[in-house]
Amino acid sequence: MDSKTSELLKKYWETETSLQEEQELKQLLASSEDAQLEEEKTLFAHFDEKKNAELDESFDAELFAQIDQLEEQKGAKVISLKDYFRQYASIAAAVVVLFISGAIYFQQQQQYQVEDTFEDPELAYAELKKQLLMVSRYMNKGQNTLNELTNLSKGTDELQDFAKLGEASEGLNMLSEMNVENN
């Protein structure tokens, strides 16, 4: 074995070679007739062979057949990743929903904490009175509007009474026609 080849092999096994040095090592090994380098020659030949290997169409079928055969031999149950995901995804979703709803609940509880804004109870009472008078004013405006609507509904009742008068006049016309025929 020459010194250049042994030096490159040492660097290769220590993973310190560059791509050019690896190419040079492959060429040196391919041209070498040294029996000591036979294992390395075989290794690099194997790498080159597997580098260009491709799977044929029957590979998947053979692989699944071997898996089925192993299942039958061992009696093992194959768990589908899809079923596994469905089972645990629903549990995870429930946990997430509970966590989010709990966080929202606690946030709302903290949001509505009562705080005292007045130091003097007299000022607080005066402010409350002012607010209640304002609410009362708005309620009275609403009541007035409802009263006007009630008056409008009374007007429709009066219009219905006029309609009854029209019906009564038709009845009187019929009676008068009957009197004329009887005479």
- CA 64 to CA 138: how far, in whole Å? 80
In this prediction, residue 5 carries a pLDDT of 82
With 70 as the cut, is the pLDDT of residue 64 above it?
yes
CA dist 32 and 52 (Å) reads 23
Phi, psi of 133 (to 5 degrees): -65, -40
**Stretch 55-83: mean pLDDT:** 78
Tell me what pLDDT residue 169 has.
Answer: 73
Question: Whole-angstrom Cα distance, residue 78 to residue 67?
Answer: 10
Residue range 168-176: mean pLDDT, rounded: 71
Sign of CA dihedral 89, 95, 97, 99: negative
**18-41 pLDDT, tens digit each:** 888 888 888 888 887 777 878 888
Q: Which of 87, 89, 65, 68 is nearest to 78 (CA)?
A: 68
Please, what sign has the CA dihedral across residues 24, 27, 30, 34? Answer: negative
Convert the pLDDT of each residue in 75-87 to its tens digit: 656 667 787 788 8
Task: Give mean pLDDT, residues 50-68.
Answer: 82
Domain boundaries, the chain: 3-74, 122-183
- What's the mean per-residue pLDDT of the chain? 80
Contacts of residue 164, Cβ cutoff 8 Å, sequence gap at least 6: none
Q: Is the pTM of this model over 0.75?
A: no
Q: Residue 112 contacts by C-beta under 8 Å, 6 or more apart in sequence?
A: none
Total residues belonging to the chain: 183
